[in-house]
A and B are shown apart, each in its own frame.
Chain A
Amino acid sequence: MSDKSSSRPSGFDRRAFMAGAAGSVLVPMTARAAAQDANAPLAQDPSLPVEVTLRVNGEDKHLSLDARTTVLDALREHLKLTGSKKGCDHGQCGACTVLIDDRRVVSCLTLAVAAEGQEITTIEGLATDDRLHPMQQAFIDNDAFQCGYCTPGQIMSAVACVKEGHAGNEADIREYMSGNICRCAAYPNIVAAVKQAAPEIMKG
């Protein structure tokens, strides 16, 4: 597995760059190669790894993955970012919630190879330097967890919930946070945490 990190100036379109570079540079990307040859869709070997570049918390990560790898498994098993949790692995519990291009999704039902060129933000990417994100601080302030297993997903979901404008009242918070299950039933405190953090997040 290769794992190189690089930063890039904002506005640089990696997808467009790859499209331009593919004609002149020999890049061993199984998926790309297959996508370019519509007439031979079954000629490739699915057992071969796929070269994938994921942009995670602002850094490009080059990975060689089985095409079956989800974003969640890529994060946890290949990038050692174990904050995102595997609960049900079927999109039902929300423990694996991350932001992709600033929208909350379940990473367990997202193929890593399909997430190329998109910005993935995980719980590890929320804090700035030593300062917790307001939602992280609000979860601590309100004791919004017991075992903590669902917490990274809750927090990622809560950040998006606020930015979507769905944290205006308790009913909305409960409805729009319903995709994150907490087996310890810390729900009242989670609602309180989202309420606390919402104004600060909206303020920017």
Chain B
Amino acid sequence: MRPFLYQRASDSNMAVQALGAPAAANNPLTKATAQPLAGGTTLIDLMKLDVMRPATIVDINPLARAWSAIEPGSDGLRLGALAKMSDVAAHAEIQRSYPVIADSLKLAASAQLRNMATLGGNVMQRTRCNYFRDVSYENCNKRNPGSGCAAMDGVNRMHAVLGTSDQCIATYPGDFAQALIALDATVEITGKAGTRTMPFAQLHKAPGDTPEIETTLQPGELISAFSISGRWPRSVYLKARDRQSYEFALSSAAIALDVQDGTIRNARVALGGVATVPWRAREAEALLKGQKFDEALGQRVAEAAFADARGRRHNSFKIALGKRVVARALQQAVTMEI
């Protein structure tokens, strides 16, 4: 690991000033020479691999007192960005009213990592693409812009089939972000000019021609909270993976439904493990609205969700697998007891 200067943020103002200082605020954010430290489960790992090389680390854990509240209310939910994954997953009201959130967190990583990792850091985690993580490969457009992509014709079993470009097919690896995008979450961002909010769906950027730009966050900005309107007790997160536990998704689905008298009034479908960014399948949702669920409808929805998928040498199985995951998750959501 390269040497760095460690700074402990005394408050959010100090944190955004240090992270946004002109000398540190290189664009894109992934290359900024000052990086925030929350749980450290991505940052320290990637620094050990020499993938991330910050000159300064700003420890934002002292902000947890203000930024880690779990606040379910009558009309929605607010989650502080420094809340730990394990605490949110174990929260009784989250399990009851937002099972898709609780399960997306519970099924991610290990108990140790969930105790460390924060919600904000979780959505900002970097891809697990082996060519990105192994600096002995020169050609990674995400790590070395313009150098090419070793995954295109390499071992790409774990790579994305949706949202790819001819520059990058790296999978967004997280789980929780799929729950957020399905529930139309809002993300609150704190920067030098104060606090702003935007739809969570606008946080991540598909790779396009600039895979090194992963989010719309700017240096000197921190995620401070997430909020969700309404309650979603009829929601599930289904995750298919190579092992029963402690593994990234091959394919996952976050489903949230509002069913009244057997008719689907509102439907949310998001996909994980198969796309370059947290993926909302709106065309699939449209097929569900106003309908009564049966197996045939589940199949049509699954087909629609993957209509634009493009497989490569080793990952085409994810298209067939992903459809089955969507169909099964829908079945679970429709039949679950709430």
Contact = CB atoms under 8 A, between A and B. Distances in A.
B5 interface: yes
Contacts of A91: 41, 44-45, 112-113
B184 interface: no
B111 A179 contact: yes
Interface stretch (A5-13, A37-45, A120-128, A137-145): A37-45
Nearest to A31: B6
Given A36-B10, A67-B5, A89-B48, A41 B24 contact: yes
B14 A38 contact: yes
B331 interface: no
A35 interface: yes
A90 interface: yes
A178 B7 contact: no
A90 B245 contact: no
A46 interface: yes
B266 interface: no
B110 A94 contact: yes
Given A32-B8, A91-B113, A174-B245, A111 B55 contact: no
Contacts of A39: 17
A34 B111 contact: no
Contacts of B317: none
A142 to B, nearest CB: 21
Contact of B112 (A34, A38, A45, A179): A179
A91 B10 CA distance: 27
Given A68-B1, A114-B59, A34 B115 contact: no
B4 interface: yes
B3 interface: yes
Interface string B1-34: 1011111111001100110010110000000001
A160 B40 contact: no
Nearest to A50: B6
Interface in A166-184: 166, 174-180
Nearest to B90: A164
A137 B17 CA distance: 51
A194 interface: no
B210 to A, nearest CB: 27
Contacts of A35: 7-10, 14, 59
B24 A67 contact: no
Interface string A153-164: 000010011001
B316 interface: no
A193 interface: no
Contact of B40 (A47, A111, A157, A161): A111
Interface string A65-97: 011101000000000000000000111001001
A45 to B, nearest CB: 8
Contacts of B45: 90-91, 109
A106 interface: yes
Contact of B246 (A42, A46, A178): A178
A144 to B, nearest CB: 18
A62 interface: no
Nearest to A113: B6
A104 to B, nearest CB: 5
Given A41-B18, A114-B37, A106 B8 contact: no
Contacts of B90: 164
A103 interface: yes
Greatest chain B CB density within 10 A among A38, A103, A174, A179 is at A38
Nearest to B9: A35
A34 B10 contact: no
B110 A178 contact: yes
Given A68-B1, A89-B48, A105-B112, A34 B41 contact: no
A110 interface: yes
A109 B40 contact: yes
A105 B116 contact: yes
19 contacts: A31-B8, A38-B17, A46-B3, A67-B6, A89-B48, A91-B44, A91-B45, A97-B112, A103-B86, A109-B44, A110-B44, A110-B116, A111-B40, A114-B37, A157-B111, A166-B111, A174-B245, A175-B245, A178-B244
Interface of B: 1, 3-10, 13-14, 17-18, 21, 23-24, 34, 37, 40-41, 44-45, 48-49, 55-59, 61, 86, 90, 109-113, 115-116, 244-246
Q: A-B pairs with the 7 shortest C-beta distances?
A: A179-B110, A178-B245, A35-B8, A178-B246, A46-B3, A38-B14, A67-B6
